[in-house]
């Protein structure tokens, strides 16, 4: 039997939990597939990609490769097309198809918090993940979204994306004195700042006071600086590890069935094994002060 190979690529990559998640799922599904990790950066992506043989079924892509994967895909799903980012490539006779499972993973993680619909929302940060967060919130019904960014100019593409999706997107600068101007109340906040980022206490306190429930895509260290402020005010805060697991499940669907919407046989057991692989239980996933 010909081996089937999969892997996650990125730089850095040693911290990735994807091999643990995928191995757990394929064991439950009875698939003897190889899923590894490889350090690949922008400079050597093309050479590594061209070196893949017919045993390769697909790739998971993390930073800084999502835009390069987008360009390498011969077709892209709606979420990838909207965000300009591909984190999953599924190989086939017609060439690699690109998907962005971060959007669906965020949506599934929010639903685990009991959030099935959103009216107003805030995204903290304007980096690459913010576009996926914005599309997620629109899919959940948001009509007004504020981008709170340290560099407001970086939010221009998000404002344009909001225009395309017919949702009002405003921008707030996370300046040192931002805590003196209390932000508007929102239903939910998605934190997209890099792990370890610490905002000035007046800023994070003001965001927490008017931020609704928090889903912070960061999970190491945990609780994040944002989550600590939410907890101090007795508000719900969820770790991004839940989003990581949920987006990986959608990748498993793609690698097995070719469609992120195609539920798998024995999927509940696979998801349970994936959550166990990263020691995720309900208490660790959702914390409240």
Catalytic machinery residues:
66
228 Cβ partners below 8 Å, 6+ apart?
Answer: none
Strands across the sheet containing 213-216: 168-173, 144-149, 120-124, 188-191, 213-216, 236-239, 286-288
Strands across the sheet containing 34-39: 34-39, 5-10, 56-61, 88-90, 97-99, 75-76
Query: What whole-number distance in Å separates Cα of residue 264 and Cα of residue 260?
Result: 10
Query: What whole-number distance in Å separates Cα of residue 216 and Cα of residue 242?
Result: 10
Helix (H) or strand (E) holding 48: helix 45-50
């Amino acid at each position: 039997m010909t081996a089937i190979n999969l892997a996650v690529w990125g730089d850095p990559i040693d911290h990735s939990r994807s091999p643990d998640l995928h191995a757990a799922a394929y064991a439950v599904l009875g698939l003897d597939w190889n899923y590894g990790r490889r350090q690949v950066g922008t400079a050597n992506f093309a050479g590594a990609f061209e070196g893949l043989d017919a045993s390769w079924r697909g790739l998971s892509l993390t930073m800084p490769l999502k835009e390069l994967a987008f360009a390498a895909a011969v077709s892209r799903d709606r979420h990838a097309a909207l965000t300009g980012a591909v984190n999953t490539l599924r190989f086939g006779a017609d060439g690699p198809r690109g998907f962005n499972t971060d959007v669906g993973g965020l949506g599934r993680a929010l639903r685990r918090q009991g959030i099935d619909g959103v009216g107003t929302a805030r995204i903290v940060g304007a980096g690459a993940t913010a576009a996926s967060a914005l599309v997620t919130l629109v899919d959940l019904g948001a009509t007004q979204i504020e981008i709170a960014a340290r560099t407001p100019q970086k939010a221009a593409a998000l404002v344009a994306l909001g225009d395309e999706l017919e949702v009002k997107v405003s921008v707030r600068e996370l300046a040192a004195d931002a805590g003196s101007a209390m932000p508007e109340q929102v239903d939910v906040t998605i934190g997209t700042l890099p792990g370890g980022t610490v905002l000035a206490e007046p800023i994070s306190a003001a965001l927490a006071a008017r931020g609704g429930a928090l889903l912070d895509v960061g999970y190491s260290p945990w609780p994040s600086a944002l989550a600590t402020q939410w907890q101090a005010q007795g508000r719900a805060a969820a770790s991004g590890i839940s989003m990581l697991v949920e987006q990986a499940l959608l990748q498993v669907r793609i690698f097995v069935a070719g469609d992120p919407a195609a539920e798998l046989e024995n999927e509940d057991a696979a998801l349970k094994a994936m959550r166990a692989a990263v020691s995720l239980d309900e208490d660790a996933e959702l914390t409240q002060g």
